Amino acid sequence: MAILKYIDVGIHSVSACVPKKVVRNSELDNLIPKEDLDKTIHSIGIRERRIAERDVCSSDLCGKAAERLLSERGIDRDSIGALIFISQTPDYRQPSTAPSLQDRLGLPKTVMAFDINMACSGYVYGLSIAYSLASQDGIGRVLLLVGETMSKTVSDHDKVTTPLFGDAGTATLIEKGDGYGPSCFVLHSDGGGSDMLRVPYGGYRNPSSAEGFERKVDEEGNILGGEQLHMRGMDVFNFGLRVVPSGIKEILKILDMRIEDVDMIHFHQANRFMTDFFAKKLRFPLDRVPYSLEYFGNTSAASIPLNMVHTMYDGSFPRRRHVLMAGFGAGLAWGTAYLSLENLRISKLIEY
């Protein structure tokens, strides 16, 4: 495992942007029988999702969030030393999207800008890299942009993925500072499970082709093409149960902390039944676990910062000194973070 520790680096501010279009899971009775649909909504905890228009990309949502953060907080754009864009739905296969965001946001050409292709663990991974860069004398501040338009990857005839995924873009500013205190990241991967969540065609292993665009019916009656997300739901569920509680116990042991010392846990917003189970297994109070997936669904790597904006903007969860984050998903990859959000500045959620 990778263990990364930092002192006096932290999150200055965070913002998020979601599409205006709302899609309600109660309207999926053409796909899922009504009696099963109610049970599904209750179990996953997702009532509605935000869906981007066809011409809106992850970078557009992240750009709106970043512009709000930079303007509202009066951030000198010349103080940004690095820009990281994390997404599995970039503008193009080539080139990377981060340099275009540097230009669109009016950041100086001295900015280091690059993409990372990560799924639901992406925010924790991205923070670990941003903290590392911000620790350097030559970087200063790091702008971490995390966004997904997962709805563009999902078949609307797939009972497994359709009720789950929504779209969002987020911006997080990381900087050095005496008031941030210690932080720690513990990161893992298991590529042996990479076929649990996969878009089989459209890359360079299986390039786009007539076969890849052909829509096929699977054993559950779902209709999917090769360039759409294929997900083995129960395997993913079991993966989460196996790694997330143990990952939290692992970081607590490294830090010589008890679960009672933790003020709040931000789980990746995957499935309410699953994350409630995590908290119960850890004997952690559910009233200290913020949730936003009821309104936005699973927004992949963007879910944790979106969760922060939605649940903490109004001053809720005032105990923010000892915070854990847990991201987990496709790859397979998972990570746990310990940090403080005491000095966090949060912008009001943007609808675009």
- Give the DSSP H or E segment for 186: strand 182-189
- Backbone φ, ψ for residue 321 (5° rounding): -80, -40
8 Å CB contact between 24 and 1 = no
* Chain centroid offset of residue 49 CA: 15
How far are the Cα atoms of 222, 235, 338, 339 from residue 127, in angstroms, in the given order?
36, 27, 11, 10
Residue holding tokens 């909504």? 41
How far are the Cα atoms of 49, 81, 123, 153, 167 from residue 64, in angstroms, in the given order?
19, 20, 18, 22, 14
Q: Which of 266, 298, 307, 310 is catalytic?
A: 298
- Nearest-angstrom CA–CA distance, 346 and 337: 19
Burial class (CB in 10 A: 0-12, 13-18, 19+), 229: buried
8 Å CB contact between 124 and 327 = yes
Give 231's contacts (C-beta < 8 A, 6+ positions apart).
Answer: 160, 161, 196, 197
Q: Which residues pair with 82 in a beta bridge?
A: 112, 142
Catalytic residue at 268?
A: yes
How far are the Cα atoms of 76, 81, 175, 176, 216 from residue 137, in angstroms, in the given order?
17, 10, 11, 10, 54
- Nearest-angstrom CA–CA distance, 49 and 277: 23
Q: Which of 12, 120, 188, 230 is catalytic?
A: 120
First to last CA, the chain: 39
How many other C-beta atoms lie within 10 A of the C-beta of residue 150? 28
Q: Which of 268, 271, 307, 310 is catalytic?
A: 268
Catalytic residue at 120?
A: yes
Catalytic residue at 25?
A: no
8 Å CB contact between 4 and 132 = yes
Which ranges of 48-114 does DSSP label H, i.e. alpha helix?
58-72, 98-104
Q: Please give the positions annotated as active site.
A: 120, 268, 298
